[in-house]
């Protein structure tokens, strides 16, 4: 029996229809009625063109049982008959309105917008739930032997981060994201979230998007009835089927349901280019998005309503329409009948009358001729046995590439992922109830990858060695929060770490507290049942170290850029080697994209240390050029890297120098100055 949507406390209006095995995934919640500003009773839903096809015949269930992974293709793509599309000159733009999309070399995200106020996390770990990233992977993960392959690897992804780390958002935020997607001129919008009641502002935004020619697709939800926005006439409501081709237990049904797609035990893109198992109607919707994008490439001159009609008619209906809508999508059959379907559409509807009554007659003629001349989908639905869902972070193919032998063939459990991802974001502030964030002060603590600490003024309070700080953090992590060797009664080695940073780390981290907060309190916030153990503390501190390393590439990168500076009271542009500051795009992946590719690899190196409970080295910052194709015009530099590396890890540094760095060119970073660089020094150098 389906679980009804629970009532949520507070001002939360929009929530996800989600998978129980995703990190931070909660059962879907709905709006507290008092918080709805504009509420309307939806009443009976009337379906127009492209929705339920009343004349479509229901056939008896006919299944063809397979074992999973036929010809190396995942079961969900097999079920919907989705072969990889041929390369097309048409580029389809897909907006994923969700929890964000973590940076990945396996996902082609061309634009990002974060609609959550005061949320300035790096895109490497902006989506700690993994929800939006998984949705994006199903749609368009690249065909590059890395992770999974999406239904249409050729799409361009537009990420709108609206759902917070609890997968909740006010309706106004969703409306803003829909309008942004309209401005970006996207072709399709995926909405894997829902609300139980109609809200006028959301309905109006959906209508604006539809009028702009955008195809809207949404998860049906896990309640008794299809949730909004899926329930709107303008939106395709997608339910979820299992590997056996049956409706998932928590998939909403009813008159508003339009299409079905695989949604249980799906493999998709996980954190740091890995894979993970996901479930829910949230994961069914992007299958329809991927299929629709392929059909759009084949029909560049056809409107969204044509694609919708084609998806509906070609679907495999083998059950009751209230449970299956028009059936399970079948991309292969849609492509097969596309030419005939298009001719009939152009004959009857391409120049349809604006008169409502006349247009309905034309629609009737269209569907009548379709049913007479184009066979319905009578194929057996492929079902699958022996489906295994990876609960870890990497596929077998890319596991060794990610972390070497550090994890000894094992992957992190869902609980461990929760801890790690929560910790990655922790230094940016995460305990909402606490006005004084545990590790607050981006410019005054050793966890944010700066060349120096202090405030933004010209007076620098003293440089920090970001490499030394990283190594010391991993040493503390490996020992479960101990900042000194109590067994031998001596301090841990801390070569290169400044006294003020050692003091701060010791103040913040111990086996009993993190940032002045009891560990048990922190783990309770991470997730129910997560215990305060040495292993969990270690993983959490490694997560902080990962945050620190990611921030090094954001906050301490220098490159050839143009920067506006004020001179004699006027702003002028100045070219040269400059630090990429926030105003110049420090957190934007489009600013020197290779630094984010490098950061992604460096984070995996730290992950390897976490898996083997090992201490970091300067080699964790070494990025072999052959692994991501550094281009000279995209070259960047980590400020004071050589100096910091020599201070922090002299043995490895000397060994590297002795071997020569020209063979693999692992370190492509230059020491820009013999002393720490700040704006004042740089401006003096430029003036000379």
Could you give the residue numbers annotated as active site? Answer: 98, 131, 282
Task: Using DSSP bridges, classify how beta strands 14-16 and 168-169 pair: parallel, antiparallel or unpaired.
Answer: antiparallel
The residues, any chain, with a CB within 8 Å of residue 674's CB and separated by 6 or more, are 643
φ, ψ dihedrals at 22, nearest 5°: -80, 150
Looking at the DSSP bridge assignments, the partners of residue 316 are 328
Could you report how far apart the first and last alpha carbons of the chain are, in Å?
75
Q: Running DSSP on this structure, what letter comes out for residue 584?
A: G
Exposure on the CB side of residue 114, measured as CA atoms within 13 A: 17
Is 17 exposed, middle or buried, given 0-12, 13-18 or 19+ CB atoms closer than 10 A?
Answer: buried
Neighbours of 628 (CB within 10 A): 16
Q: Which two tokens stand for residue 476?
A: 């503390």
Cis, bond preceding 229 (omega within 30 deg of 0):
yes
Q: Which two tokens stand for residue 301?
A: 């001159």
Looking at the DSSP bridge assignments, the partners of residue 577 are 560
The residues, any chain, with a CB within 8 Å of residue 365's CB and separated by 6 or more, are 348
Whether 392 and 417 have beta carbons less than 8 Å apart is answered as no
For residues 436 and 429, give the distance between their C-alpha atoms in angstroms, rounded to a whole number: 9
For residues 650 and 326, give the distance between their C-alpha atoms in angstroms, rounded to a whole number: 66
Name the nearest CA neighbour of 187 among 88, 311, 94, 110. 94
Exposure on the CB side of residue 420, measured as CA atoms within 13 A: 28
Q: Which two tokens stand for residue 641?
A: 């890297």
Q: Running DSSP on this structure, what letter comes out for residue 8?
A: P
Whether 55 and 311 have beta carbons less than 8 Å apart is answered as no
């Amino acid at each position: 029996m389906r679980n009804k949507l629970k009532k949520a406390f507070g001002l939360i209006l929009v929530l996800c229809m989600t998978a129980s095995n995703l990190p931070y995934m909660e059962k879907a919640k709905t709006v507290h009625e008092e918080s709805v500003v504009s509420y309307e009773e939806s009443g009976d839903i009337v379906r127009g063109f492209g929705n339920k096809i009343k004349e479509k015949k229901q056939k008896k269930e006919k299944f063809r049982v397979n074992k999973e992974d036929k010809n190396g293709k995942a079961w969900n793509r097999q079920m919907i008959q989705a072969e990889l599309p041929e390369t097309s000159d048409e580029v389809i733009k897909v907006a994923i309105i969700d929890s964000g999309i973590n940076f990945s070399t396996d996902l082609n995200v061309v634009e990002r917008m974060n609609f959550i106020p005061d949320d300035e996390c790096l895109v490497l770990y902006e989506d700690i739930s993994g929800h939006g990233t998984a949705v994006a992977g199903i749609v368009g993960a690249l065909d590059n032997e890395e992770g999974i392959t999406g239904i249409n690897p050729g799409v361009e992804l537009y990420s709108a981060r609206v759902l917070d780390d609890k997968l909740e958002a006010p309706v106004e935020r969703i409306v803003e994201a829909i309008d942004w997607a309209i401005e970006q001129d996207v072709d399709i919008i995926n909405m894997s979230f829902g609300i139980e009641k109609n809200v006028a502002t959301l309905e109006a935004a959906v209508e604006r998007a539809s009028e702009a020619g955008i195809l809207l697709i949404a998860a049906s939800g896990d309640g008794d009835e299809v949730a909004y926005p899926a329930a709107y006439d303008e939106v395709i409501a997608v339910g979820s089927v299992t590997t056996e081709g049956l409706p998932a237990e928590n998939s909403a049904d009813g008159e508003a349901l339009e299409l079905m797609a695989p949604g249980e035990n799906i493999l998709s893109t996980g954190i740091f280019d890995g894979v993970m198992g996901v479930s829910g109607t949230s994961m069914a919707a992007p299958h329809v998005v991927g299929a629709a994008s392929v059909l759009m490439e084949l029909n560049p001159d056809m409107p969204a309503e044509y694609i919708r009609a084609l998806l509906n008619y070609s679907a495999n209906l083998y059950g009751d329409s209230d449970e299956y809508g028009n059936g399970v999508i079948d991309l292969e059959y849609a492509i097969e009948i596309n030419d005939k379907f298009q001719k009939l559409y152009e004959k009857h509807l391409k120049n349809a009358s604006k008169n409502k009554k006349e247009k309905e007659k034309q629609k009737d003629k269209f569907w009548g001729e379709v049913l007479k001349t184009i066979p319905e989908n009578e194929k057996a639905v492929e079902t699958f046995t022996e489906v295994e869902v990876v609960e870890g972070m990497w596929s077998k193919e890319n596991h060794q590439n990610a972390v070497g032998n550090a994890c000894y063939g094992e992957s992190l459990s869902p609980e461990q992922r929760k801890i790690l991802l929560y910790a990655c974001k922790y230094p940016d502030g995460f305990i909402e109830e606490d006005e004084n964030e545990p590790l607050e002060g981006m410019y005054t603590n050793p966890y944010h990858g700066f060349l120096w600490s202090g405030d933004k003024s010209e007076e620098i309070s003293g440089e920090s060695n970001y490499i030394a700080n990283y190594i010391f953090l991993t040493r503390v992590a490996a020992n479960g929060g101990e900042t000194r060797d109590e067994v031998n009664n001596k301090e841990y080695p801390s070569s290169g770490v400044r006294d003020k940073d050692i003091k701060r780390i010791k103040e913040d981290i111990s086996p009993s507290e993190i940032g002045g907060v009891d560990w048990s309190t922190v783990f309770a916030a991470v997730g129910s049942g997560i215990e305060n153990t040495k292993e969990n503390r270690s993983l959490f501190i490694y997560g902080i170290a990962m945050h620190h390393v990611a921030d090094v590439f954001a906050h301490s990168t220098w490159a050839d850029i143009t920067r506006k500076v004020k001179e004699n009271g006027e702003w002028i542009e100045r070219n040269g080697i400059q630090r990429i500051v926030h105003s110049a795009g420090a957190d934007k992946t489009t600013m020197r994209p290779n630094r984010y590719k490098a950061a992604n690899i460096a984070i995996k190196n730290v992950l390897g240390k976490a898996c083997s409970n090992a201490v970091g080295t300067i080699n964790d910052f070494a990025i072999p050029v052959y692994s991501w194709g550094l281009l000279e015009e995209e070259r960047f530099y980590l400020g004071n890297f050589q100096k910091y590396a020599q201070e922090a890890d002299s043995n490895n540094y000397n060994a590297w120098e002795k071997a020569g760095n020209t063979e693999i060119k692992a370190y492509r970073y230059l020491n820009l100055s013999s002393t720490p660089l700040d704006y004042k020094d740089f401006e003096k150098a430029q003036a000379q």
